[in-house]
Amino acid sequence: MNKLDFLIEYLLKENEEITVEKMPTKIEDKKNLWRSLCNIREAKPISNKYIQIEKEYLQEELKNKSITKVEDIKPISVNIKESNLQNKDKICLWKGDITTLKIDSIVNAANSRGLRLFCSLP
C-alpha cells in the first residue's frame, strides 16, 4: 500500500460515519479525497505512524514542485506603471500554491474581501 492509500484508509477507519462507495484509482482523485477527509476531520490526537507517513508523503510531493523564489515575484510597479498607490515598488501580488514559495513571510487577511482583520478593543 502506498503512502496516500494508507492516509486515506486511516482517516476512513477513524470515522466510520464516512463511506466511500468506490475508491478512486486516479492519483488526483485520491489526493482530492485525502484533502477532503483532512478538512472534515475533527481536531483530535492522531497516531505517530500517521504523522510520519503524512510527513514523508508531503516531502515527496514537495520534491515534485517547482519552487518560486522571492526574486521571481515582481512588485506591482512592474505591471502597473500609472498608479498613485503608495509603496507599489515594495508590494507584490502572487497567485499560486503558497507551499512552493521560498520567502520569509506571507500576509493573509483571512477573509473573503481581502481586508485586514478588524477587532475592537475594550
Which H/E stretch holds residue 101?
strand 101-102
What pLDDT is recorded for position 111? 64
Question: For the residues 86-97, what does the mean pLDDT come to?
Answer: 82
C-alpha cell at position 110: 483571512
Query: Is residue 36 a contact partner of residue 20, using CB atoms and an 8 Å limit?
Result: no
What per-residue confidence (pLDDT) applies to 41?
95
What is the tens place of the pLDDT at every residue in 16-37? 899 999 999 999 999 999 999 9
| Secondary structure (H, E, C), 24-61 | CCCHHHHHHHHHHHHHHCCCCCCCHHHHHHHHHHHHHH
| Category of 114 on φ-ψ map: left (φ > 0), alpha (ψ -120 to 50) or beta | left
Prediction pTM value: 0.63
Q: What is the mean pLDDT of residues 79-101?
A: 81
Domain locations in the chain? 3-63, 68-102
Write down the pLDDT at residue 120.
Answer: 56
For the segment 85-100, the average pLDDT, to the nearest whole number, is: 82
User: In 3D, which of 7, 122, 113 has the Cα closest to residue 54?
Assistant: 7
pLDDT in tens, 43-74: 999 999 999 999 999 999 888 888 888 888 88
